[in-house]
Amino acid sequence: MTFQWPWLLFLPLVVVPILVVLYVVAQMQRRKYALRFTNVALLSQVAGKGPGIRRHIPAVLFLSGLTFLLISLARPEATVRIPKDEASVVMAIDVSGSMQAEDLKPSRMEAAKSAAQTLVDSVPDQLQMALISFNAGANLNVPLSRDKDAIRRSIDRLSANGGTAIGEAIFLGLDQLANRQVDPQAEKNQAIIVLLSDGANTAGRSPEMTLARAKQEGVKIYTIGVGERGANPALRSGQRVGLDEEALQRIAQATDGEYFYAANAGDLEKVYADLGSQISWVEEKTEVTALFSAMGAMFFTLAGLLSLWWFSRLP
């Protein structure tokens, strides 16, 4: 919590304690005046049962409301997380045959699908998303939209088979982002491709052919490597598959993106959750004067209502 006019904080620090002291003194004077009656028993019979602790509740509420209102004069600010305007994300998932490997349980493919659902759940509704799957070629499963349910259903239907066309997936993702609907008055329109793969490009155009375009169009590519480092697990067909981290790192670095390595399914979901936080939210300072004023008004109103109800007067 910060304040635009912090020098005005002296008001609640000075005024409120003074009022508390005056209130305590007034209560002591009142008690002293009551004790002047010599027949305390007769006084209690005449006066009846006193208000007890209820007498102090309206005063406490009144002082609380005054504190909030005086603090609001200093124009308090709070840091809040808000969705970025008109952000667009293309999620490209490798569905090549090597994703059938079971070094991630139950398989690389199932772990990737679970993690992709985590990313969809972690971003705000305002964000546009598209889903691309790629093996020997690239396929647009869901075009850019805010229909998160369509993304989820399409992810559930993914299955692994075929080669790995990373360059084709990037090129198709860039086409989607180039045709996206944007707000011309928005200050920022972040465009990102999240690419998940476990191997080097084996089909279609090379990724290097698409990176210059991504850089020119201001699209960052985040790459995620899936698989066990230094291992070559065998598929059911007997083919052994590995993880080409260097290729994925080059793609990310060329576009000012970032490379992530997920050692297991749990880490992979965490990577996606972190990505969702990075690409969809921004921390900004916002003035919360109105909130403090509203709290002050609420305490004032409550103090007045209770005082009128119990004592037929305002505090």
Per-residue pLDDT tens over the stretch 26-50: 877 776 665 555 555 554 554 445 5
> What is the pLDDT at residue 156?
93
Looking at residues 88-114, what average pLDDT do you find? 85
State the average pLDDT over residues 117-144: 88
Structure confidence at residue 28 (pLDDT): 79
Span 254-281, average pLDDT: 73
Task: Output the pLDDT for position 282.
Answer: 67
pLDDT surpasses 80 at 78? yes
CATH number of 84-263: 3.40.50.410
Q: State the average pLDDT over residues 179-197.
A: 70
Q: What is the pLDDT of residue 142?
A: 94
Which one has a higher pLDDT value, 102 or 238? 102
Alpha carbon distance, N-terminus to C-terminus of the chain: 31
* pLDDT score, position 175: 92
Domain ranges of the chain: 2-79+286-311, 84-263
At 51, the pLDDT band (50, 70, 90 cuts) reads low
Percent of the chain with pLDDT over 70: 78
**Per-residue pLDDT reduced to its tens digit, 10-27:** 888 888 888 888 888 887
pLDDT of residue 185: 46
Query: Average per-residue pLDDT in the chain?
Result: 81
- Averaged pLDDT, 281-310: 85
What is the predicted pLDDT for the residue at 186? 47
Q: Are 195 and 166 within 8 A, CB to CB?
A: yes
Q: What is the pLDDT of residue 238?
A: 67
| CB contact set of 172 (below 8 Å; sequence gap of 6+) | 92, 132, 134, 138, 140
Q: Report, as an integer, the average pLDDT of 263-274.
A: 68
286-310 mean pLDDT: 87
